[in-house]
């Protein structure tokens, strides 16, 4: 089994290609360089276009995070992970709240693939604050819930978690530095928070020890998305 880790990308930024049509996503990708960012394909684009959207991105040399957040019974999630691995993506994810057996089934399914993607588990969506969590039955504050789910994911042998930038230190403390954190909810100073609740700037998230920054609208909705990425990388000391 070979892990997809021979990366040529020098930036921790993963650009979220959240577009309603493949044309817009591919047009943006054409202006970006695989050495300066990775790409994330999520539910909107994948539901619209299917696996066909991945091929031109992978062909151009991008490492692609397929963000479909699988959450189902273990057998179904294992099958979905196997299918995702066959698409040549760099990272796939599941919901940690799917439980230990589901996480282990995902890990075991991917372990058998020839070129295995990284497996991350979503802890608590970055759009949820304490009140929203309480409404769906989680009494613990977001940080405590994230820690609990990160420990579960770590014990199940997953590579890392998706969490908010505000929980990076908690996760690293609980599970060790090598356990990956992938953090959405990134907002450069002066940009809109949109629907995200638990946010931080790119520099603050990197200083807190995160491994990957997922950034969507601050890049995709910028007047010049490629320039927005260059500025974010420059702010992290990456000349691209
Ligand atoms: O536009 P914005 O930077 O808020 O995009 C964040 C991206 O990260 C979206 O694609 C969203 O689906 C994803 N995401 C998230 N929170 C999570 C997991 C993924 O915002 N917990």
Q: Give a yes or no: residue 1 inside a domain.
A: no
Ligand 1 pocket test: pick from 92, 184, 198, 201 the residue with the most ligand atoms within 8 Å of its Cβ. Answer: 184
Asked if the structure places residue 113 within a domain, the reply is yes
Strands (E), the chain: 2-3, 13-16, 38-42, 64-70, 91-95, 115-116, 118-122, 160-162, 180-183, 212-215
> For the chain, how many structural domains are there in total?
1
Please report the atom of ligand 1 found closest to the CA of residue 163.
21
With respect to residue 135, please indicate whether it lies within any of the assigned structural domains: yes
Mean per-residue pLDDT of the chain = 95
Closest CA to 120 of 91, 98, 84: 91
pLDDT of residue 54: 97
Please report whether residue 6 resides in a domain. no
Span from the CA of 214 to the centroid of ligand 1 (angstroms): 7
Q: For residue 148, indicate whether it is catalytic.
A: no
Q: Does the CB atom of residue 216 touch ligand 1 within 6 A?
A: yes
Its domain, for residue 89, covers: 13-235
Q: What is the pLDDT of residue 149?
A: 98
Q: Decide: 14 in ligand 1 pocket, CB within 6 A.
A: no
How many Cα neighbours within 13 Å face the side chain of 120? Answer: 26
Is the Cβ atom of 126 under 6 angstroms away from ligand 1?
yes
Question: Does the Cβ of 122 fall within 6 Å of ligand 1?
Answer: yes
Q: Is residue 7 part of a domain?
A: no
Rounded to 5 degrees, φ, ψ at 212 are -140, 140
Mean pLDDT of 80-104: 98
Instruction: Please determine, for residue 3, whether its predicted confidence score (pLDDT) is greater than 60.
Output: no
How far apart (Å, rounded) are the C-alpha atoms in residues 172 and 166?
12
- Using alpha carbons, select from 206, 99, 209 the residue that is nearest to residue 158: 99
Is residue 87 included in any domain, yes or no?
A: yes
Asked whether 217 lines ligand 1 (CB < 6 A), one says yes
Q: What is the CATH number of the domain that holds 178?
A: 3.20.20.70
205 lines ligand 1 (CB under 6 A): no
Q: Is 157 among the domain residues?
A: yes
Q: Does the residue 67 lie in any domain?
A: yes
- pLDDT tens digits for 13-55? 999 999 989 999 999 999 999 999 999 999 999 999 999 999 9
Q: How far is the CA of 66 from the centre of ligand 1 (A)?
A: 12
Ligand 1 centre to CA of 230 (Å) is 20
pLDDT value at 9 more than 70: yes
Choosing from 69, 112, 148, 172, the catalytic residue is: 69
């Amino acid at each position: 089994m070979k892990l997809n880790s021979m990366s040529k990308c020098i930036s921790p930024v993963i650009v979220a290609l959240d577009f309603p049509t493949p044309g817009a996503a591919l047009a943006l990708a054409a202006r970006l360089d695989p050495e300066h960012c990775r790409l994330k394909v999520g539910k909107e684009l994948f539901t619209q276009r299917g696996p066909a959207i991945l091929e031109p991105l992978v062909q151009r040399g991008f490492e692609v995070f397929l963000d479909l957040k699988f959450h189902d019974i273990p057998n179904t999630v294992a099958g979905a992970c196997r299918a995702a691995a066959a698409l040549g993506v760099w990272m796939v994810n599941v919901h940690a709240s799917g439980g230990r057996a589901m996480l282990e089934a995902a890990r075991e399914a991917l372990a058998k693939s020839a070129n295995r993607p990284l497996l991350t588990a979503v802890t608590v969506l970055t759009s949820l604050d304490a009140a929203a969590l309480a409404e769906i039955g989680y009494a613990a504050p977001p940080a405590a819930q994230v820690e609990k789910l990160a420990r579960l994911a770590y014990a199940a042998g997953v590579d890392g978690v998706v969490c908010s930038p505000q929980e990076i230190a908690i996760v690293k403390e609980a599970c060790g530095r090598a356990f990956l954190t992938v953090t959405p909810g990134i907002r450069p100073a002066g940009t809109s928070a949109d629907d995200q609740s638990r946010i931080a700037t790119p520099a603050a998230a990197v200083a807190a020890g995160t491994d990957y920054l997922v950034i969507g609208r601050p890049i995709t909705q910028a007047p010049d998305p490629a320039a927005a990425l260059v500025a974010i990388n420059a702010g992290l000391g990456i000349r691209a």
